[in-house]
Amino acid sequence: MSEPGVWRRLYPLSPIVRGGRGTIGIVILLLPALLRGGISAGDLVPLGVIALITLLGFVSWFVTRWTIDGDDLRIETGVLRRRSLRFPLSQVQAIDILRPGLGRLLGAAELRLRMGGSSGGAARLSYVAAGEVEQLRDQLLALAHGAPPDQATPVAVAADEHVLTTVPTGRLIASILISDVGFYAEAVLAALVVTALLAPAVASAVISGGGLVWLLGVITVTWRRFNLEYRLTVADAPDGLRLSGGLVALTSETIRPGRVQAVRMVEPLLWRPFGWCRLQVDLAGGRQPAEGEGTAQRRQLRVVLPVGRRPLVEQVLDRIVPDRPQRQSPPPRRVRLKSPLRYRNLAWGGTDTCIVTTGGRLRRTTCWVPLEKVQSLRRVQGPVQRRLNLATVHVDTAGRAVRAALRDRDTAEADQALTSFAELARAARRTRG
């Protein structure tokens, strides 16, 4: 609980948490020297860098302070260029709590206030004491919902949550093992083990010759996915979909339906016997991060459901795209000649406010696009398509990964869809956009 109007500092160990990754990296670099017994002059450079970074971090911590001032959260920071940031709490759309691995060890957590308005920036308090972060979030949320500043008691906002699911760890591991990322890692590992068994000399040459970096990269990608999606809990809250979970770093974030640009459901071939699918959303985000906003803010594709079955997917979809089309129509039969692998998956459907398209060769991908989020439409016809009297209509959205397209439709149908989407999108923008 923070007294209104009293200036406070961030958590004292913040600079260590913030510089943590770099420090760990440098320590690892120094490890061989330590093991050799003795640090040479050359190793003093990284040590100096650590010292400098830590010093700068503490200076930055020393000059940063924050307070709740009436309806605003104010943050002051900077040494040479003093900055005073003011975030009106009435514009807060969601408050996320992030706990990086090192932060959890040291008892620190980050509060991120996602602001509304055109800028769509975020206020970050990195870091505050882990013990009071939830209380603080509830207090800020209470203020954001219009409670008087002097008696903003932490209301139990979390109580309104209705937990939809927590992803079982066994299923998550299994799903990653048979996913594309997992296969890649397994192939690299298997190749390495086989060469190590058959020809140790070759294996060691590969490892010392850059193969190690590759291996680490593959493992990192796989690990990151596991780490991020470990015990991810999906809950239905009044202000949107609340996601929380993580293994080393814990995150908790709220996704408002209005921020969703497009939704994508992916069903890899090997997942289909189990009826599993994966749900991702593309979120709006400015191209350039605003002041006081980190790089993490720019990552736009978010996993909403790492692995789950259809009924669960429908439940989650009800929350983000409630008025979605239920039926899809397949393309003309002659498409089989042009796209034999895709043909079985291709389909699209639409209502007055939402389009759904399905595609993909081995990995079936279904995309939902709310019409008020459509940025532009494109009709493309290639030489083979012209011969078969087919055309593709692309529906462009502001997201990063979702590519919705009405692939290989009859030309007349494509033209008709292009015209009607343009009109429906305009109407949707006027009423909701």
Residue 302 CB, nearest distance to another protein (Å)? Answer: 16
Q: Which of 111, 103, 151 is nearest to 134 (CA)?
A: 111
Relative to beta strand 8-9, strand 65-69 is: antiparallel
Question: Which CB sits closer to another protein, 18 or 259?
Answer: 259
The whole-angstrom separation of Cα 318 and Cα 255 is 13
Phi and psi (nearest 5°) for 80? -80, -45
Question: Which CB sits closer to another protein, 107 or 258?
Answer: 258
Residue 298 CB, nearest distance to another protein (Å)? Answer: 13
Window 78-137: residues binding another protein (CB under 8 A): 118, 120
Helix (H) or strand (E) run with residue 424 in it: helix 411-431
Question: Which CB sits closer to another protein, 217 or 382?
Answer: 382
Residue 383 CB, nearest distance to another protein (Å)? Answer: 6
Binding residue count for another protein, defined by CB under 8 A: 30
Residue 424 CB, nearest distance to another protein (Å)? Answer: 12
The whole-angstrom separation of Cα 25 and Cα 376 is 44
Q: Please check whether residue 289 is in contact with residue 120, taking contact to mean a CB–CB distance below 8 angstroms.
A: no
Total residue length of the chain: 433
Which stretch in 130-138, 169-177, 356-364, 417-425 sits in contact with another protein by CB under 8 A? 417-425
Instruction: Determine, following the binding rule CB under 8 A, whether residue 36 of this chain makes contact with another protein.
Output: no
The whole-angstrom separation of Cα 267 and Cα 250 is 27
Contact partners, residue 283, CB within 8 Å, separation at least 6: 255, 259, 260, 261, 300, 301, 302, 399
The whole-angstrom separation of Cα 368 and Cα 94 is 23
Question: Which CB sits closer to another protein, 84 or 118?
Answer: 118
Which stretch in 60-68, 216-224, 327-335, 425-433 sits in contact with another protein by CB under 8 A? 425-433
Question: Which CB sits closer to another protein, 142 or 371?
Answer: 371
Q: Please check whether residue 70 is in contact with residue 4, taking contact to mean a CB–CB distance below 8 angstroms.
A: yes
Residue 80 CB, nearest distance to another protein (Å)? Answer: 33
The whole-angstrom separation of Cα 266 and Cα 264 is 6
Residue 405 CB, nearest distance to another protein (Å)? Answer: 10
Cα angle: 239, vertex 240, 246; to 5 degrees: 120
Question: Which CB sits closer to another protein, 166 or 376?
Answer: 376
Residue 389 CB, nearest distance to another protein (Å)? Answer: 13
Instruction: Determine, following the binding rule CB under 8 A, whether residue 426 of this chain makes contact with another protein.
Output: yes
Question: Which CB sits closer to another protein, 310 or 429?
Answer: 429
Residue 100 CB, nearest distance to another protein (Å)? Answer: 29
Instruction: Determine, following the binding rule CB under 8 A, whether residue 261 of this chain makes contact with another protein.
Output: yes
The whole-angstrom separation of Cα 109 and Cα 384 is 56
Q: Furthest-apart CA pair in the chain: how many Å? A: 77
Residue 369 CB, nearest distance to another protein (Å)? Answer: 11
Considering only 63, 129, 284, 303, the residue that binds another protein (CB under 8 A) is: 284
Q: Which of 124, 94, 102, 99 is nearest to 112 (CA)?
A: 124
Residue 222 CB, nearest distance to another protein (Å)? Answer: 27
Residue 224 CB, nearest distance to another protein (Å)? Answer: 24
Question: Which CB sits closer to another protein, 179 or 397?
Answer: 397
> Could you give the angle at which helices 20-36 and 44-63 cross, rounded to 10 degrees?
150
The whole-angstrom separation of Cα 356 and Cα 358 is 7
Question: Which CB sits closer to another protein, 48 or 286?
Answer: 286
Residue 377 CB, nearest distance to another protein (Å)? Answer: 4
Q: Is 318 left (phi over 0), alpha (psi -120 to 50) or beta?
A: alpha
Q: Please check whether residue 107 is in contact with residue 13, taking contact to mean a CB–CB distance below 8 angstroms.
A: yes
Extract the runs of DSSP E, i.e. beta strands, from 12-168: 65-69, 72-77, 83-88, 92-99, 108-115, 122-129, 162-166
Which stretch in 32-40, 147-155, 158-166, 420-428 sits in contact with another protein by CB under 8 A? 420-428
Window 363-402: residues binding another protein (CB under 8 A): 372-383, 386, 394, 396-399
Question: Which CB sits closer to another protein, 45 or 422?
Answer: 422
Question: Which CB sits closer to another protein, 344 or 379?
Answer: 379
Question: Which CB sits closer to another protein, 120 or 154?
Answer: 120
Which residues here bind another protein, judged by CB under 8 A? 118, 120, 261, 284, 372-383, 386, 394, 396-399, 403, 415, 418, 422, 425-426, 429, 433
